[in-house]
Structure 1
Amino acid sequence: MQAKELKEYISQDEDRLFSVLQASGFHDIWKASSGEIRCATPHGDNKTGVMIKVDPDLYTAIFSSDYSGDLLGAIQEVMDTTFSDVIVFVHNVLGIATNSQSKTKIDPLGELKGLAAKKIKRDRKSNKKYSEAELGAFIHLPYKTLIEEGISPKVLDQFNICFDPKLNRIIFPHYDWEENDRIVGIKGRTIQTKEELELTGTPKYWNYLTGYKKSHNIYGYNITKQYISAYSNIILFEGEKSVLKEYTFNKGKGCSVALGGHSISNEQVNFILRNVPLDCEIIIAFDKDVMTKEEEGEQFLIKEAMKFRPFRKVSYIFDKYNLLDEKDSPIDKGFKVWQYLMKYRKEVK
């Protein structure tokens, strides 16, 4: 059988899928839902670390190595062998005759070597972690412009928002998505007007910690993780202030995070899929300019949403009736407009 036929054949019988997974070294295999299988990698102990979609494509994600593709590719990943050898291997496991003359040659230490190499690669990507002592130079006091925008002082305190009197910047601490008491980024937003910025050449944003990779973290997850189950959804905004406004609307118990931009990285996708419940809807709430740009627009929103679609219900907010201004976040026009946009969000099928 060719690869496509082989995947379809496996997907038609759960016992075949389980046999292939077990023979490949995956373990702690269980049904997360009627259309999704979870298990651990051969040398891992996370029973939710691998997801397989039970469909003709057998879409598979391995979170420990950031792999996403089909099951055959996942087997190749953990065995550290060639794709043609994987095809022969799976045929043998299922007792299917093959005319291929190639023999499966698997280095018994290959997987360990591969995982070690990937761990080194991941470690290089990780953000450096700091203690809250890094905030010692700032004033722990909510700045008036944020309150004037409708963000409650209680929420500003909840997210540890500070002010830098030396550089006149509002400080947004970014806490690590796994070690929630550790800081990985300190983002400072100037209080200068647009005209003042142009005259002085001052950057609007300033990162106080060099090397911070926004694509390897999610702002606000350290707080939001405790409320996701109650809402059964998680809202993905671009910026920190949108998260603060959503929390204000919900009296300090929100369900939103900020990505730091409008492109969702593979690391962010994998982290979200790994950490939110199976029944959690992922809602993309990007700024109005993303909806209207010729090179982006609605098709871009759908493309970003599809990064989650094999495993979760996902939707996006689209301002069909132009309720927002050009640079607005979907939550910037107040509670009623936000509720309307949420109610008529579009699900990606």
Structure 2
Amino acid sequence: MNVHALKNYIKVNDELIELILEKAGFHEISDNFSGGIEYRCAREEGKNPTAVRINKETLQASCFSTNLKGDLITLVQDKKKLSFPKTIEFISKIVKFEEVEQNDYELPFGGFYKKIQRFRENNGVKLEIYDESILDLYAMLPNKMFYEDGISFKTQDKFKIGYDVMSDRITCAWRTTSGEICGVMGRLNKREVNEFENKWFPIIPFPKSKTLFGFSENYRSIQNKGICHVFESEKSPMILDSMGSPLGLGLGGSNLSDYQANNIKSLFTEKIIVGMDEGLSQEVSISISEKLKMSRYFKNEVFYIYDKNNLWLPKDSKMSPVDLPKEDYKRLLKHCLIKV
């Protein structure tokens, strides 16, 4: 399920917001606020009828009584006590949303959401969905090498890191933006890799451009903080998570697809930080950052990390910014952050 498309569908048909709130158990729902662009309601029957706020144009939401800050999805998730995938399923059923290849409804924001991306790459690879039981094929054990790289055992458990005996690879499950497993990447379980070996290899192939690593796992935290960090690999969001900041997303490479850009922008975060690996040209970071910039109806701030003089990121190291110790990463954010 494309979360960006679901949210776009609800925004176009904003009367569905009231239906979602009603089905989720909210009370005294009204949109007679802020010139009709905001819904307000009570979280519980008989309580403050203006404690909950939802913006029709962005679906951003807050709840005064619980200190929740996020969007309609996290609001319903908190109320119903559901997992992220179950929340998406719950909302989709209420609004009878079925994902299609192209929009057949009027686009808001002057065409900001141009289209829902097709589920096929140019090479014909389809984004398949797998049951959680697919992970039973692998030993769900924390990995020592990942731990030494800065990924805590707690974070490894969160992202379901395992081990494939057949290929001697650390397994890393990738999920759709709504949280279903769509593929598995395998990392050779050793430091030194021979020329004829691939350090990373797709055990269950999938088109990375059709999803974002960490999107469903970190969605709620990103909404709450209003900030996200965008990296290349799947390891970087996990390292950042282990630093105490579950705010990272992984592209699976140095390219940002339209699908990925739309879903990142649909988070409506106030701040985005792009942290590409050392060695990539500054132009790559600028191009990705500009693609994530929003200026109509909602304005965000987009920055990229660029250690021009390699003060912290060693030249030719190809390190991710978060491969550095936590304090050095903070220094990068203080001294090497460039706003687009």
TM-score normalised by structure 1 residue count: 0.62
User: In structure 1, what is the equivalent of residue 154 of structure 2?
Assistant: 154
Call closer, same or farther: CA 1:31–1:321 in 2, change over 3 Å: farther
User: In structure 1, what is the equivalent of residue 293 of structure 2?
Assistant: 309
Deviation at 1:270, TM superposition (A): 1.1
The answer for unaligned runs of 5 or more in structure 2 is: 1-11, 16-35, 39-55, 59-101
Identity within the alignment, %: 24
* Count of matched residue pairs: 243
Deviation per CA, 1:120-166: give whole Å up to 9, x if none.
Answer: 999x7751100122111211001111112222101100110001122
User: In structure 1, what is the equivalent of residue 275 of structure 2?
Assistant: 285
The question of whether the paired residues in 1 share the 8 Å contact of 2:174 and 2:182 is answered with: yes
Consecutive aligned runs of 4 or more in structure 1 exceeding 6 Å deviation: 29-32, 118-122
Equivalent in 199, 208, 216 of residue 204 of structure 1: 199
Matched residue type, 2:203: Y
User: In structure 2, what is the equivalent of residue 272 of structure 1?
Assistant: 264
Secondary structure at 2:163's aligned position in 1?
strand
Deviation at 1:287, TM superposition (A): 0.4
Distance 1:285 1:247 in 2: 15
User: In structure 1, what is the equivalent of residue 313 of structure 2?
Assistant: 324
Secondary structure at 1:263's aligned position in 2?
coil
Tell me the C-alpha RMSD between the 2 structures: 3.2
Call closer, same or farther: CA 1:287–1:214 in 2, change over 3 Å: same
User: In structure 2, what is the equivalent of residue 218 of structure 1?
Assistant: 212
Distance 1:155 1:334 in 2: 17
Deviation at 1:317, TM superposition (A): 0.6
Map residues 219-298 of structure 1 onto 2, 5 A cutoff. Answer: 219-250=213-244, 253-274=245-266, 276-277=267-268, 279-290=269-280, 297-298=281-282
Q: Which has the larger radius of gyration?
A: 1
Deviation per CA, 1:98-136: give whole Å up to 9, x if none.
Answer: xxxxxxxxxxxxxxxxxxxx79999x7751100122111
The question of whether the paired residues in 1 share the 8 Å contact of 2:121 and 2:207 is answered with: no
TM-score normalised by structure 2 residue count: 0.64
Matched residue type, 1:299: E
User: In structure 2, what is the equivalent of residue 299 of structure 1?
Assistant: 283
Matched residue type, 1:335: K
Deviation per CA, 1:149-206: give whole Å up to 9, x if none.
Answer: 222101100110001122110100001112x1x2101000102343x522xx222222
Higher helix proportion? 1
User: In structure 1, what is the equivalent of residue 137 of structure 2?
Assistant: 137
Q: Structure with the greater relative contact order (CA < 8 A, sep ≥ 6): 1 or 2? A: 2
Distance 1:348 1:31 in 2: 30
User: In structure 1, what is the equivalent of residue 324 of structure 2?
Assistant: 333
Secondary structure at 2:323's aligned position in 1?
coil
Distance 2:304 2:132 in 1: 35
The question of whether the paired residues in 2 share the 8 Å contact of 1:309 and 1:348 is answered with: no
Call closer, same or farther: CA 1:65–1:222 in 2, change over 3 Å: closer
Distance 2:116 2:277 in 1: 31
Deviation at 1:31, TM superposition (A): 7.0
The question of whether the paired residues in 1 share the 8 Å contact of 2:228 and 2:273 is answered with: yes
Deviation per CA, 1:32-89: give whole Å up to 9, x if none.
Answer: 9xxxx959x99549xxx6323xxxxxxx3225445xxxxxxxxxxxxxxxxxxxxxxx
